[in-house]
Amino acid sequence: MKPKPTSEFIWDYAPAPESTDHVKIESRYGLFINGKFVAPKSKKYFGTYNPATDEKLADIAEANAADVDLAFSAAHNAYEKVWKKMPPKERAKYIFRIARVIQERARELSVIESMDGGKPIRESRDFDIPTAANHFFYYAGWADKLDYAFPNRKPKSLGVVAQIIPWNFPLLMAAWKIAPALATGNTVVLKPAESTSLSALKLAEIIRDCDLPPGVVNIITGFADTGKAMVTHPQANKIAFTGSTDVGKYIQKATAGTNKKLTLELGGKAAHIIFDDAPINQAVEGIVNGIFFNQGHVCCAGSRLFLQENVADEVIRKLKDRMKTLIVGDPLDKNTDIGAINNKQQLEKINKYLKIGLEEGLEIYQSDCVLPKKGCFCKPTLFLNVAQSNRIMQEEIFGPVLAIQTFRTIEEVIEKANNTPYGLSAGVWTDKGAKIFHLTSKLKAGVVWANTYNKFDPTSPFGGYKESGFGREGGLHGLMGYLDM
Ligand code: NAP
Ligand code: MG
């Protein structure tokens, strides 16, 4: 490792790509229905691509309404004939087994997650896959203790649940959805996002190899039409959705007037607040982690930064210095900080917002890193001197783009932070505990991190306010959405 002569900040790291030899990707995947991979009735397949190289990884089945129907029949039969009757402690053993096998196959799952979705291997290896396993471990523990979790309320399972997930944390979102549903005695039909189906299909293999009774978990792939058919299916007793606010609104309308239960985890535009008494160096790491982590493809990303006026210059200087050291490139390289943007449409959306910021006359800063010639990549970006009315301050970009404002008083920052239709998360950095408690009661956000950012734990509930949705995932609260009581 030697410093590059051109810059005092950049170090030249030797390439350290993770090997892909141990990864087995089939050329074509069917739908996982009733414990088996089956060819789709639609007879249609679509390609899934590596966004860092544009290379096609596999063909994936596109489920039509007839395929969706088969998946729900399988889930319904499995619920009535097997899962509903199984003693909870036996259900727990299956969930525990899935967790163990995810741990055993963690390396393979991490590489697949990075190849199919573009996230740095460090993220998938150290965060996504271990946290997915932890969710299964955690909910395995609850399966036979529901009467203690909700005393005197006689919790009952709902039946078949439909689960639809986005592309930003493919395996982790599948775990967030499937683990509590199984622990509460429900059976599942799950659809991953079209650009990141592979890790969910690998999870289907794991579920099959764990001998989970056929039909308890069905994993089907496809586009929006597949999702629509799931949401309106008469056998779906509950819909659990994570994704964009627009689709969330559509689903809420589509299920209105039915007795389907619904939980929605939608978009966000989190406020990240730095007071002048904060530990500045740690706060800068928190900011970087909050917005550049996972290319900003995080619903709770700290995409609006509020700096107390007297430390703003120092924070911005240190943030720019830190950005110069961020390595953007090959997701499979262990040194990479920022991987590939998940898909072409998302890169176009981010670039559209960069243009809007410039057209609105904002000052932009980007690190001078060189982007790879092929694939979908974006430089980490700051917009300075932003106003509340600027579109990049109001709208969710879902990329490594940070809008910065300053403030003087605590009342001012609370008002600015809450001035958004979203309410998923927020972060605050200060030395004063009293200030933290004051803010947590005033910020309209489901999660508020203090002196840290983007920390997740299966035992802790997560979810939104306002247009960020409703319902909680994780912790004891995460069981409630899957129970009738
Ligand atoms: P999306 O369009 O909301 O998709 C999420 C999931 O819903 C995908 O599995 C999608 O399938 C499916 N879907 C799409 N239209 C549907 C419909 N009418 N009925 C039922 N299911 C439907 O989100 P996206 O395309 O992945 O990303 C678009 C934007 O959503 C992002 O730019 C970002 O702003 C936001 N987003 C938020 C989160 C979050 O965690 N809050 C995560 C990802 C994205 P297909 O993938 O096949 O379309
Ligand atoms: Mg892909």
pLDDT at 9: 54
pLDDT at 13: 86
Higher pLDDT, 113 or 10: 113
- What rounded mean pLDDT belongs to the chain? 96
Give span(s): CATH 3.40.309.10, the chain.
Answer: 271-457
Q: What is the DSSP string of 124-166?
A: IIIIIHHHHHHHHHHHHHHTT-HHHHSTTS--EE-SEEEEE--
pLDDT at 7: 52
Q: Which residues line ligand 1 (CB under 6 A)?
A: 164-168, 191, 193-194, 223-224, 227-228, 231, 242-244, 247, 250-251, 265-267, 299, 346, 349, 396, 398
CB atoms within 10 A of CB 65: 16
Distance of CA 460 to the CA centre of its chain: 15
Residue ranges with strand state E in 367-456: 381-384, 401-407, 425-429, 447-450
Q: Which of 164, 255, 422 to mutate to test the pocket of ligand 1 (most atoms within 8 A of CB)?
A: 164
Has 8 been annotated as catalytic? no
Distance of CA 115 to the CA centre of its chain: 16
User: Of 3-7, 65-69, 143-147, 178-182, which gets the smallest average pLDDT?
Assistant: 3-7
H/E segment holding residue 11: strand 11-12
Report the CATH number of the 271-457 domain.
Answer: 3.40.309.10
Q: How far is the CA of 263 from the centre of ligand 1 (A)?
A: 15
Confidence of residue 12 (pLDDT cuts 50, 70, 90): confident
Q: How far is the CA of 409 from the centre of ligand 2 (A)?
A: 45
The SS3 of residue 403 is: strand
> Regarding the domain with residue range 28-266+468-484, which homologous superfamily does it belong to in the CATH classification?
Aldehyde Dehydrogenase; Chain A, domain 1 (3.40.605.10)
Give span(s): CATH 3.40.605.10, the chain.
Answer: 28-266+468-484
The ligand minimizing its distance to the Cα of 252 is 1
Task: Count Cα neighbours of 129 within 13 Å in the Cβ-side half-sphere.
Answer: 26
- The token pair that represents 462 in the structure block: 């997560």
Distance of CA 50 to the CA centre of its chain: 18
Has 265 been annotated as catalytic? yes
Mean pLDDT in residue range 388-414? 97
